[in-house]
C-alpha cells in the first residue's frame, strides 16, 4: 500500500507530506487545515482570467516540487475555465477537487453550487476573500473610472453586470462577517439587485487537505495530465 492509500485508511494517525498549490482567494479557509505536514503556496487570484498563464504558473511549481520529498501535490483549484488543463507530473500524484470553480469549495459541495446556480443563474458570488481582492462591482467600477471617464465606466459596468440579479455572500465562518456583509449589501444596492447570504462549509477544504479523497476529488496518476472531460458530466 502506498502512502496516499495509507493516508485514506489511517487518516487520523498519519499525515503524509503534501504540497498545496492554491489560489490566493482560498487562503483564509484552506490555511485552517494546516497539520504541520503541509506546505502551502498561494498564487495570484487573477490567474483565472488568463487560463493559459494559470497552467504555466502551476506547472513550473509542480516541476520544481517533483525533486522534493512530497508524497503528493494538492491543487486548490477547480477546472477554472480550463486553467488547469494539461497540468501533469512525472513523479508525484496530483489531487484536485472535481469542481468547476471555487464556489463549490466555499459552499461545501458541487451539489450546493449547482442548486444555487439553478435557482438563480444570475448570481454574483462574494466571499471575504473575493471582497478583499477587490472583485466586487463597486471596486470594478472604481478601477474602470480611473482609466476611463465616468460615463464610459458606467457603460462598461452595465454591460458586464446587466444580467446579474442577486449578490450572494458566502459565509464560511473564518472571520468576522459584519464588515463583509456591509460591503456586499452596498454592492447589491449599487447594482440595484437583491442581496442574500448563505452559510458555506469548510468540509471540502478539510477533505482537500486531509482526505479522504473520494467522489468529489480526482487523483491524477504520475505521467497523466488533467483533462477537461474529467470534470464534465456528459
| Site of interaction with other proteins (CB under 8 A) | 46, 49-53, 79, 81-82, 100-101, 113-114, 117-118, 121-122, 144, 147-148, 152-153, 155-156, 159-160, 163-164, 228-229, 231-234
Nearest distance in Å: CB 171, other proteins: 22
With respect to other proteins, which residue has the nearer C-beta, 25 or 65?
25
With respect to other proteins, which residue has the nearer C-beta, 12 or 162?
162
135: which 3 cell numbers? 472583485
Nearest distance in Å: CB 211, other proteins: 25
With respect to other proteins, which residue has the nearer C-beta, 70 or 113?
113
With respect to other proteins, which residue has the nearer C-beta, 6 or 138?
138
Under 8 Å between Cβ of 75 and 26: no
Nearest distance in Å: CB 110, other proteins: 9
136: which 3 cell numbers? 466586487
Residue 10 vs residues 34, 74, 216: alpha-carbon distances, Å: 18, 19, 19
d(CA 168, CA 36): 34
With respect to other proteins, which residue has the nearer C-beta, 39 or 140?
140
Under 8 Å between Cβ of 105 and 129: no
| Torsion sign, CA atoms 206, 209, 212, 215 | positive
Nearest distance in Å: CB 38, other proteins: 27
Angle at 75 (CA atoms; ends 203, 126), nearest 5 degrees? 55
Q: Which of 173, 221, 217, 166 is nearest to 195 (CA)?
A: 166
87: which 3 cell numbers? 497540468
Backbone angles phi, psi at 228, to 5 degrees: -55, -40
Nearest distance in Å: CB 221, other proteins: 21
Angle at 142 (CA atoms; ends 146, 41), nearest 5 degrees? 100
User: Angle between the 178-191 and 137-147 helix axes, to the nearest 10 degrees?
Assistant: 60
With respect to other proteins, which residue has the nearer C-beta, 221 or 233?
233
Nearest distance in Å: CB 53, other proteins: 6
Amino acid at each position: 500500500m502506498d502512502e496516499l492509500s495509507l493516508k485514506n485508511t489511517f487518516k487520523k494517525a498519519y499525515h503524509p507530506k503534501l504540497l498545496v498549490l492554491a489560489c490566493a482567494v482560498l487562503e483564509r479557509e484552506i490555511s485552517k487545515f494546516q497539520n504541520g505536514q503541509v506546505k502551502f503556496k498561494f498564487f495570484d487570484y487573477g490567474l483565472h482570467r488568463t487560463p493559459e498563464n494559470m497552467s504555466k504558473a502551476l506547472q513550473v511549481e509542480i516541476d520544481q516540487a517533483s525533486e522534493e520529498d512530497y508524497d503528493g501535490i494538492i491543487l486548490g483549484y477547480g477546472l477554472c475555465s480550463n486553467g488547469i488543463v494539461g497540468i501533469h507530473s512525472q513523479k508525484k500524484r496530483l489531487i484536485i477537487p472535481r469542481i468547476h470553480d471555487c464556489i463549490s469549495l466555499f459552499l461545501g459541495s458541487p451539489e450546493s453550487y449547482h442548486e444555487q446556480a439553478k435557482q438563480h443563474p444570475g448570481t454574483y458570488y462574494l466571499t471575504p476573500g473575493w471582497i478583499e481582492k477587490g472583485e466586487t462591482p463597486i471596486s470594478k467600477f472604481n478601477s474602470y473610472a480611473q482609466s476611463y471617464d465616468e460615463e464610459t465606466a458606467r457603460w462598461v459596468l452595465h454591460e458586464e453586470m446587466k444580467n446579474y440579479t442577486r449578490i450572494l455572500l458566502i459565509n464560511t465562518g473564518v472571520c468576522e462577517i459584519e464588515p463583509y456583509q456591509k460591503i456586499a449589501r452596498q454592492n447589491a444596492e449599487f447594482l440595484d439587485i437583491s442581496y442574500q447570504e448563505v452559510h458555506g462549509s469548510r468540509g471540502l477544504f478539510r477533505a482537500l487537505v486531509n482526505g479522504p479523497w473520494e467522489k468529489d476529488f480526482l487523483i491524477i496518476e504520475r505521467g497523466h495530465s488533467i483533462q477537461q472531460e474529467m470534470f464534465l458530466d456528459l
